[in-house]
A = this chain, B = another copy of it.
Amino acid sequence: MISKEFLDMLSQKSVIREIFAYGSERAKEIGYENVFDYSLGNPSVPTPVEFKEKIIEILQENDPMAVHGYSPTLGIPSVRQAVAESLNTRFGMKYEMKHIFMTSAAAGAIAHALRLVTVPGDEVITFAPYFSEYIPYVNKTGAKLKVVPADTKSFQVNFEALDTMMNEKVMALLINTPNNPSGCVYSEETIKKLAAYLKEKEQEYSHPIYIISDEPYREIVFDKVTAPYVAKYYNNTLTCYSFSKSVSLPGERIGYLAVAPGCEGEDVLADMAGQVSRGIGHNCPSSLMQLALPSILYKTSDLSVYETNMNILYDALTDMGFECVRPGGTFYMFPKALEEDAKAFCNKALKYDLLLVPGDGFECPGYFRMAYCIPTEKVERSLEAFKKLVKEY
């Protein structure tokens, strides 16, 4: 019979998509250029041109059966090797091909990582504010997502709250730095402290506790900073990466799971991921996309617009009296709303054609998310609308 579970999910509409749909309707009335849509995290800068050139070269110079033929379940070996080398070069790691499993972007990587190290009944901890898809990602495996309340002063890790929630059923922490929605980048100090804490707990519980590190925004960092590479500080790290944001390929659904060298199970986890795939209908990314990937492993799109926009918005909004932790990366920021009820606040913002997302969906009520992956001139024009909104308070 038709699954009641998935039927019921249809009526729980995504708040973000509703806001986006409202914006599309409104654009028809007053013109697209007059709607200040900060709702969707869609990259707004083009993919490096080398990617397109590489695809065309592959298609023109190779036998179509070699291009479009079956990829091994774990990914095309030369591509896995190239990914390992790029991580080694960039982060001083020692990945080998055996550690890399090609995935359908970060969502695919997380789906595998969770199933590799948890069984139904286990607990997985994440930190608010967090990407709301983590709820189905974790809970549909049969494990249970527990959420550590936000440290709203810094959006780093709330260690006190973490410690009250830690117990021996916790098999993994699902973290996201640089963070959607806060824009926060975990500091080296935070990651070292987290690693030390988890090592202690691993000893206490006599089992590994994995960090599943969701890193699609890893390259989008500001102030010429590099985001600390989590796996460098903690061996039991499963890094989940997507090429959606850094090279603007969200529709191509390509990413990887990287099992850290020295990780418990390092020799088998990527292989096991191939077995996980059989049960969930996952398949490798497109073979053509895999083959073209080495052309951009050391590149990013021109990401500077995100930092420009962040600076304009951060300065203007804090001037207007908003409380906001300055983002270290991503294309999000997460200011405090001007009233306790962020939903009411975001509703008022609609009057000025400002599309903002209340923090409630990220389990951080009282705040709102802005995705500023839009043209800078629009960001500048939106400031007048913010001024009008502030006047209501």
In chain A, positions 130-169 with a C-beta closer than 8 Å to chain B are 133, 136-137, 139-141
User: How distant is A227 from chain B, measured CB to nearest CB, in Å?
Assistant: 23
User: How distant is A112 from chain B, measured CB to nearest CB, in Å?
Assistant: 7
Contact of A111 with B281 at beta-carbon distance under 8 Å, contacts A65-B43, A288-B252 already known: yes
Specify which chain B residues have a CB less than 8 angstroms from the CB of A194 in the assembled complex.
none
Whether the Cβ atoms of A171 and B104 lie closer than 8 Å is: no
Specify which chain B residues have a CB less than 8 angstroms from the CB of A375 in the assembled complex.
none
Whether the Cβ atoms of B3 and A117 lie closer than 8 Å is: yes
Which interface residue of A42, A105, A141, A275 has the most chain B CB atoms within 10 A? A275
Tell me if A279 counts as interface (CB < 8 A to partner B): yes
Contact of A283 with B108 at beta-carbon distance under 8 Å, contacts A59-B52, A64-B248, A248-B65 already known: yes
Whether the Cβ atoms of B252 and A119 lie closer than 8 Å is: no
Give A76 to B116 CA distance when docked, in angstroms: 31
Specify which chain B residues have a CB less than 8 angstroms from the CB of A45 in the assembled complex.
65
Specify which chain B residues have a CB less than 8 angstroms from the CB of A65 in the assembled complex.
43-47, 248
Give A281 to B253 CA distance when docked, in angstroms: 11
Tell me if A107 counts as interface (CB < 8 A to partner B): yes
Q: Count identical subunits in the complex.
A: 2
Whether the Cβ atoms of B253 and A284 lie closer than 8 Å is: yes
Whether the Cβ atoms of A285 and B286 lie closer than 8 Å is: yes
Give A287 to B243 CA distance when docked, in angstroms: 14
Which interface residue of A45, A70, A171, A254 has the most chain B CB atoms within 10 A? A70
When C-beta atoms are compared, the residue in chain B nearest to A108 turns out to be B281
Specify which chain B residues have a CB less than 8 angstroms from the CB of A47 in the assembled complex.
64-65, 68
Give A46 to B139 CA distance when docked, in angstroms: 42
Tell me if A7 counts as interface (CB < 8 A to partner B): yes
Give A64 to B289 CA distance when docked, in angstroms: 14
Sorted from nearest, which 10 A-B pairs have the closest CB atoms?
A111-B281, A251-B287, A140-B279, A136-B278, A9-B275, A280-B280, A286-B286, A253-B283, A6-B272, A46-B64
- A sample of 19 inter-chain contacts (CB < 8 A) reads A1-B117, A1-B119, A1-B208, A10-B268, A42-B70, A52-B59, A52-B64, A55-B55, A55-B59, A68-B252, A71-B251, A108-B281, A137-B279, A140-B280, A251-B288, A280-B280, A280-B281, A281-B282, A288-B288
Task: Name 4 extra pairs, CB < 8 A, besides A9-B272, A46-B64.
Answer: A1-B119, A7-B272, A45-B65, A252-B287
